[in-house]
Structure 1
Amino acid sequence: MSYIAGFVAAVPAANKEAYSKHVAKAASVLKEFGTTRIVEAWGDDVPGGKITDFKGAVKAGPDEVITFSWHEYPDKTAADAAYRTMMSDPRIAEIGATMPFDGQRMIIGGFTPIIEQGSPGKTDYIDGSLVPVPMASKAAYLAVASKQAAVIKEYGATRVVEAWGDDVPDGKVTDYRSAVKATRDETVVYAWIEWPSKLVRDEAWKKVIADPRMYADIMPYDNQRRIHGGFAPILDA
């Protein structure tokens, strides 16, 4: 089964070009370590929330933009091996020393896909989400999310991925659990939807929201704490 390393960060809007160069340089090295795909996406439609949101998750300032990114690996063994190699490679240390954003506020975690509808391919727009789910409700979440993914694909999405929290550490400044105010009996799901364009996405959501198949009698998680946003890819390697 594949494995996902997921990231959320806050980057000064003025540093977009520097950030693009930074992640492109990092990707050229990471591909040597077995990473099969690297996607970096720049915040485009990232709303504020009443309880949780992406900006609060990484303590973003008014001049900062949220980035949503992930690395795909063939399996967890490959991801762990890549991480060990990465930590000893001087090129990664050099890249890390010149980050155009506050790395201390970046959220990092490892996730195992439980839903993957569609195949990886070039995407023009991404919806990203973080979801707090009770660990005891995994089967119920899988049932609801699988049904919803099929509906979303029906309206034009090219790929829907839901990845269950596997290695989601606590952080000193920010982390996934605090981002969604997860309780100790909950884990965090890192999810995204790939679209062929923003226009297709915008039109699709009107139909998705109106479709009764998207709603369950009892949702197996607290939807009020779910974080979501729209992102434009700046790197898809």
Structure 2
Amino acid sequence: MGYIQGFVMAIPAENRDAFSTHAGRASPLLREFGAARVVETWGDDVPEGKINDLHGAVAATADETVSFGWMEFPDKAARDAAFDQMMSDPRMHAIGDMPFDGHRMIFGGFEPLVDVGDAGVPGYIDGFVLPVPRDNRPAYKAMAEQAAVVFQEHGAKRVVEAWGDDLPLGEVTDFARAAHAESNEEVVFAWIEWADRTARDAGIAGAMADPRLGETPPDMPFDGKRLIMGGFEVLLVDAD
């Protein structure tokens, strides 16, 4: 199932083209360094939450848009080797300055718990970040496996749920603070891939109406009030 390097960032809305260009220049190098797949997105339907949300996760301002992205690697060792090359290869520095505030980007490594469907070229992504008690990992995995089946039956192309493994603390923010994770909790990074926004809207509506998913079980293995999510347009998919 490999290894995931996930990230969320705030980007000035006026920098959309610059961000897309920057990502397009970086992804061939990331692939050369060992990434099997690189995905970059642009916030389209990112709601505000009562406790926390993806905007607050990266301290986004009113003129910024949230991006949710990731890189997929064969394993953690490949991720580590790729990041060593990223830091040392002068071609990465030649790409130019990042069109966003890197100090507010949250990032980390995740072990996939669930990975079902085809990793093709989606047109739309639903992204999720949430805290789960570490003792509830088996129960969460079982729940996520069941939910993935429902989402696929309602049109999802792929569903991935990944468990926090290497989540650094940030100076401004990080995944733990984004999810309001407590000391006994780990952060899950997850996404659903759809063909496009229309398929996503119909799929989510269908899944929520499905009795297998629509009813909240009394023993939920996580606090849904601290789950943060959003819908994203796909800007770039670089893969085999």
Instruction: Report TM bin, short chain.
Output: over 0.9
- Give the whole-Å Cα distance in 2 for the aligned partners of 1:131 and 1:103: 22
Give structure 1 stretches of 5+ with no counterpart: none
Structure 1 stretch 102-111 or stretch 205-214: which is displaced more? 205-214
Secondary structure of the residue that 1:165 maps to in structure 2?
strand
Structure 2 counterpart of 1:7: 7
Aligned partner of 1:173: which letter?
A: V
Alignment size in residue pairs: 236
Query: Which whole-Å CA distance do the structure 2 matches of 1:15 and 1:155 have between them?
Result: 34
Give 1:217 deviation, angstroms: 2.7
TM-score, structure 2 normalization? 0.96
1:212 positional shift: 1.9
1:168-225 deviation line (CA, Å, top 9, x unaligned)? 1111101000001000111100000000111111011111112221132311000000
Amino acid at match of 2:59: K
Match of 1:172 in 2: 171
Trace 1:111-190 onto structure 2 (pairs within 5 A): 111-190=110-189
- In the TM superposition, residue 29 of structure 1 has moved relative to its aligned partner by 1.1
- Structure 2 counterpart of 1:234, which letter? L
| Alignment-derived partner of residue 70 in structure 1 | 70
- 2-side partners of 1:204 and 1:85: how far apart? 40
Partner of 1:83 in structure 2? 83
Provide the secondary structure at the position in 2 that maps to 1:79. Answer: helix
Name the residue aligned to 2:227: 226
Shift of 1:150: 0.6
Tell me, in whole angstroms, the C-alpha distance in 1 between the residues paired with 2:48 and 2:94: 35
Deviation per residue, 1:73-109 (Å, 9 max, x gap): 11111111111111111122333x5111100000010
Give the deviation of 1:33 after TM superposition. Answer: 0.4
* Amino acid in structure 2 at the alignment position of 1:89: D
Contact 1:144 1:216 in 2 (8 A): no
Within 1, Cα distance between the matches of 2:203 and 2:28?
A: 34
- In structure 1, C-alpha distance between the alignment counterparts of 2:159 and 2:67, rounded to whole Å: 19
User: Once superposed, what is the RMSD of the aligned Cα atoms?
Assistant: 0.9
Q: Secondary structure at the match of 1:200?
A: helix
Secondary structure of the residue aligned to 1:150 is helix
Report SS of the residue matched to 1:23: helix
Identity %: 52
1:83 match: secondary structure: helix
> What amino acid is the match of 1:13?
A
Q: Give the C-alpha shift of residue 48 in structure 1.
A: 0.3
Counterparts in 2 of 1:206-217, with a 5 A limit?
206-214=205-213, 215-217=216-218
- Partner amino acid, structure 1, of 2:129: L
Amino acid corresponding to residue 116 of structure 1 in structure 2? D
Contact 1:180 1:226 in 2 (8 A): yes
Tell me, in whole angstroms, the C-alpha distance in 1 between the residues paired with 2:234 and 2:139.
Answer: 31
After TM superposition, where is structure 1 displaced by more than 2 Å over at least 4 residues in a row? Answer: none
Q: Distance in 2 between matches of 1:124 and 1:216?
A: 31
Is the aligned partner of 1:102 residue 2:101? yes
Q: Distance in 2 between matches of 1:139 and 1:217?
A: 17
Residue 127 of structure 1 contacts residue 192 of structure 1 at CA under 8 Å; is this kept in 2? yes
In structure 2, list runs of 5 or more residues that go unmatched: none
Partner of 1:22: 22
TM-score normalised by length of structure 1: 0.97
